[in-house]
Structure 1
Amino acid sequence: MTSKRRDEVLVGLLLLTAIVIGLGGTIWIARGGLSKGYSMYARFPWGAGLKQGQPVLLAGVQVGFVDEVKLIPDGTITVRLQVQKEHQVPAGTTASVKANGIFGDQLIALQPVRGAQGYMSAGDTIPVGAGSPTTDQLLTKGDSIAANVQALTDEARAQFVADGGVKDIRRTVADLTKLVAQLSSVAAAQSAQLTKTQEQLRRTLSSIDSVKVDSSVKNVQAMTASFEQLSRELRETNTKVQGVVDKVSNGEGTAGKLMNDPKLYARMDSLLAHIDALVLDINKNPRKYINLKIF
């Protein structure tokens, strides 16, 4: 092997070693470096997309990483979180899986509660909160929405194009245009008729003679005076009649005595009865009372 060839091999080995050391150092630092920290746990459903080495954020600050992921047959995965020892997780904190970038990577977000009293201990299981939808879920939802939109578009095309819906709409618009034109014509005709009627009324009012109006007013005044005179006469007559009634009620005069004296009323009634009997007897036996002789 020539000296030049040997140098190239050495340079390549050095570069490869540097790359390996750099990657290893990066992973080592990301996992806490010399500070191992303490472990905590969380349980998520299958399909969370978690794997070893993914970051763990507490209120948006990276405090650790995913140390281990175990698949459980009951449909969940148990995740061991390695948290740096200088960070404590407040009590009441919840864990959720969130997207880390746009390339499908995930992270675990720890969301603390404001004003929490105390902290969780090492080895505790952090309760799971509501997570944000993953990229796959968003893509699936987008595909579903696109399919629904496509179905609606196909249905609209079938209704408006294949079944003649566009023609019906055009026909309806044309009919509405005709109707509006007819209504405008009717409104114009009514406006002209109203103007004509107003003009006729104005001419009629202007043709009324003021002398006739004055004469009508005088006639009304005369009729009013006549009604006032008649009213006075009626009041006087009413007063007189009321006086007569009062006298009769008080027993004054013949009529009053007749109405207020029971004995006199009885005598008058008896007298009328005798007169009726006498008239009846005269009608039956006129010769008894009338003796007429003709010589």
Structure 2
Amino acid sequence: MTTKRRDEVLVGLLLMVALALALGGTIWIARGGLAKGYTMHARFPWGAGLKQGQPVLLAGVQVGFVEKVELIPDGTLDVTLQVQDQYRIPSGTTASVEANGIFGDMLIALTPVKGVDGKMAVGDTIPTGAGSPGVGQLLEKGDSIALNVRALSDEARRQFVDSGGVREVRRTVADLTKLVAQLSAVAAEQSRQLTLTQSQLRKTLSSVDSAKVDSTLVNLRATSASFEQLSRDFRETNTQVQSLVQKVNNGPGTAGKLMNDPAVYARMDTLLARLDSLAIDVRKNPRKYINLKIF
């Protein structure tokens, strides 16, 4: 191997070591570096997709990383969290697993409760909260929605295409269009008739002489007043007649005796009978009563 070839190999090895150191240093610094920390615990069900080194966020701020993940036979994962000393976990905080990007990586999100001043003790287990759905769950939901949409479209095709539902809808729309046209024609005709009626009413009102109407009203008032006066006079006359009749019926005068005394009535009847007999005798024997001599 030549000296030049050996130098190139050494430079390549140095570059690879530098890159490894840079990558390791970056990861180490991202996980806290020389900062001291304390451990907390959380439990999640199997299949959460957690692994060592994933970030831990408190209200959106990275406060540590996943130090260890242990598989428990009861179906849970015992996750050890390494939290930096300058951050304290508030009481009532819940932990959930959320997606970190679109490539399937995960993180642990710590959600505190607003207005709580207390802090959790070092080494406590953070209660598990409801996490956001992962990419797999979203894809599963999308597949379920796609299947439902496909079933709905197939049913709609059977109902509206295969069974002639579209033709019925078109026929119904055509009938509705005809009905709307008929209603519009009726409304237009009614509007025209109403306009003509209003015009005739205006002409009739304009042809009425207001002076004649006033004169007629005055005459009606005068006639009403005359009828009222006549009614009053009639009532007064009726009162007087009733008073006169009462006096005749109850009074001691001649008229009262003629109407109420039977003896006077008998004498009057006898007198009338004698007058009738005298009149008959005068017609039969006029010379007996009239003695006429002519010179």
Give the TM-score of the pair, scaled to structure 2. 0.70
Deviations 1:22-57 (A, max 9, x none): 333233333333345211101112222111100111
Deviations 1:182-224 (A, max 9, x none): 2222223333333444455556566668898688657634641
More displaced, 197-206 or 208-217? 208-217
Counterpart residue number, 1:60: 60
Residue 72 (structure 2) pairs with residue 72 (structure 1):
yes
Cα displacement (A) at 1:66: 0.3
Counterpart residue number, 2:51: 51
Deviations 1:50-89 (A, max 9, x none): 1110011122221111011112222221110011223222
Structure 1 pair 242/33, CA: closer, same or farther in 2 (3 Å)?
farther
> How far, CA to CA, are the matches of 1:237 and 1:128 in structure 2?
114
Residue 160 (structure 2) pairs with residue 160 (structure 1):
yes
The one-letter code sitting in structure 2 at the alignment partner of 1:42 is: A
Cα displacement (A) at 1:104: 1.6
Residue 26 (structure 2) pairs with residue 22 (structure 1):
no
> How far, CA to CA, are the matches of 2:75 and 2:59 in structure 1?
28
Alignment of 1:259-274 (within 5 A): none
Structure 1 pair 233/33, CA: closer, same or farther in 2 (3 Å)?
same
More displaced, 228-237 or 129-138? 228-237
More displaced, 213-222 or 10-19? 213-222
The one-letter code sitting in structure 2 at the alignment partner of 1:225 is: A
Counterpart residue number, 1:139: 139
> How far, CA to CA, are the matches of 2:52 and 2:31 in structure 1?
10
Counterpart residue number, 1:274: none
What secondary structure sits across from 2:18 in the alignment? helix
The one-letter code sitting in structure 2 at the alignment partner of 1:126 is: I
Counterpart residue number, 1:180: 180
Cα displacement (A) at 1:234: 5.7
More displaced, 146-155 or 89-98? 146-155
Structure 1 pair 227/133, CA: closer, same or farther in 2 (3 Å)?
same
Residue 186 (structure 2) pairs with residue 190 (structure 1):
no
Q: Alignment RMSD, CA only?
A: 3.4
What secondary structure sits across from 2:82 in the alignment? strand
The one-letter code sitting in structure 2 at the alignment partner of 1:79 is: V
What secondary structure sits across from 1:26 in the alignment? helix
Count, aligned residues: 248
Give the TM-score of the pair, scaled to structure 1. 0.70
Counterpart residue number, 2:93: 93
Deviations 1:237-262 (A, max 9, x none): 68679999xx9xxxxx969xxxxxxx
Alignment of 1:111-126 (within 5 A): 111-126=111-126
Say which one has the larger Rg.
Answer: 2
The one-letter code sitting in structure 1 at the alignment partner of 2:12 is: G
Deviations 1:101-122 (A, max 9, x none): 1212111112223332232221
> How far, CA to CA, are the matches of 2:37 and 2:218 in structure 1?
119
> How far, CA to CA, are the matches of 2:18 and 2:217 in structure 1?
126
The one-letter code sitting in structure 2 at the alignment partner of 1:43 is: R
> How far, CA to CA, are the matches of 2:185 and 2:220 in structure 1?
48
The one-letter code sitting in structure 1 at the alignment partner of 2:68 is: E
Structure 1 pair 201/73, CA: closer, same or farther in 2 (3 Å)?
same
